[in-house]
Amino acid sequence: MSHQTGIAASEDLKKFFASARSEGGVRLIKCGIESEQIVLLEHKPVVGTWDEDYDNVMLGAIVKEQPCYIFYRLDTQNELGYQWLFIPFSPDDAVTRQKMLYSGTRSTMKMEFGGGLISDELFGTNINEVNLDGYRKYLTSKDVAAPLTIAEEELAEVKMQHIEAATGGKSATLPGISFPIDDDAITELIRIAQKEVSYVQLSLDVDNETINLAKSCDLDVGELKDAIPTDNPRYHFFLFKHTHEGDYLESIVFIYSMPGYSCTIKERMLYSSCKAPLLGGVEGVLKMQVAKKLEIDVGDALDEATLYDHLHPQKDIVRQKFAKPKGPGGRGPKRLVKKTEEGQ
């Protein structure tokens, strides 16, 4: 997977990974995300057997409110070397955006370390899930039921977060179809929610049924219309920087572009059905504040004035309806005049 987000292992961490894999004297490696890089936070040496060392080093590495990645070296080996347990730790008390950032970078973390050496993955939200007793319970549960692959677990987890966000956590029928969002797309959505990038474009992989990152960059409002494809539908998130009534504002605008009927019926249906769950996810999970939602067929009309008018429409002047004016005063009440017969 390409590192379009820029969040990758630092050079120092890559060198440490290489030595730890080859020498075998490291029992635990703890990593975290700092300044948009994955860095080494701490490491512990091998002292005894894997189960003798486990709680001694693991309990000291876990911080209650701090997400992290932990690699724990087991005593078994394959043709590549010692096998490792990968533990993405994401405590419930952590900030939501931070949890999503770590979730979105998890596949990158495994790839940087070397997936062939990871024998298993243990996801945890509290210390009882990742201590020795928790790991043994996990191994027992694996023997009882056929486990999903790591890739299947990732897809299920992201999709579940997406569905829960779209439905508010209720067991209701979705207002559309919820496709899982790939890691790169999640990370870039986090960045624009934090206003670190000004434009994110997402596409649907119709065959694999996923939402993928198509483009992420910094755009001026004058360049926005050229970023809208003329032959494919897309979802767009744009950070519109402008001034309104003397105040500087940065408003996120969601744009759903569907270029006429040049797309297949299946594409049109899927893009339309996935839109609501996608917006539910970014607003519910990422806490992204979407100021305006637009639907367009082409991007030619997307200029600064148009976006401004959508965000700050002129208020209609409500004209007061006046009652029929009263007649001039002093005339007194109307008199009832009785028509008499002629000659009387």
Cβ neighbours of residue 330 closer than 8 Å, sequence gap 6 or more: none
Query: Which domains are present in the chain?
Result: 8-147 (3.40.20.10), 183-311 (3.40.20.10)
Chain centroid to CA 227: how far?
A: 21
* CA nearest neighbour of 213 among 197, 204, 202: 202
| 243: Cα within 13 Å, side-chain hemisphere | 3
Q: What share of the chain is helix, strand, coil (3-state, %, to 5)?
A: 35, 25, 35
Backbone phi, psi, residue 232, to 5°: -140, 145
User: From CA 303, how far away is CA 231, in angstroms rounded?
Assistant: 20
Look at the pTM and tell me if it is higher than 0.75.
Answer: no
User: Tens digit of pLDDT per residue, the chain (344 long)?
Assistant: 333 445 889 999 999 999 998 888 999 999 999 988 999 999 999 999 999 999 999 999 998 788 999 999 999 998 888 999 999 999 888 887 788 888 878 888 888 888 788 889 999 999 999 999 999 998 887 765 455 555 455 555 554 554 454 444 433 333 345 678 888 888 889 889 888 899 999 999 888 888 999 999 998 898 999 999 988 899 999 999 999 888 889 999 999 999 877 788 888 888 988 898 889 888 877 788 999 999 998 777 788 999 999 999 876 545 444 455 555 555 555 554 454 444 44
pLDDT at position 16 is 95
Backbone phi, psi, residue 337, to 5°: -100, 125
199-205 β-sheet, strand order: 210-217, 199-205, 234-244, 247-257, 290-296
Beta bridge partners of 203: 212
User: From CA 183, how far away is CA 71, in angstroms rounded?
Assistant: 20
pLDDT at position 294 is 93
**CA angle, corner 269, sides to 186 and 235, nearest 5?**
35
Beta bridge partners of 256: 235, 295
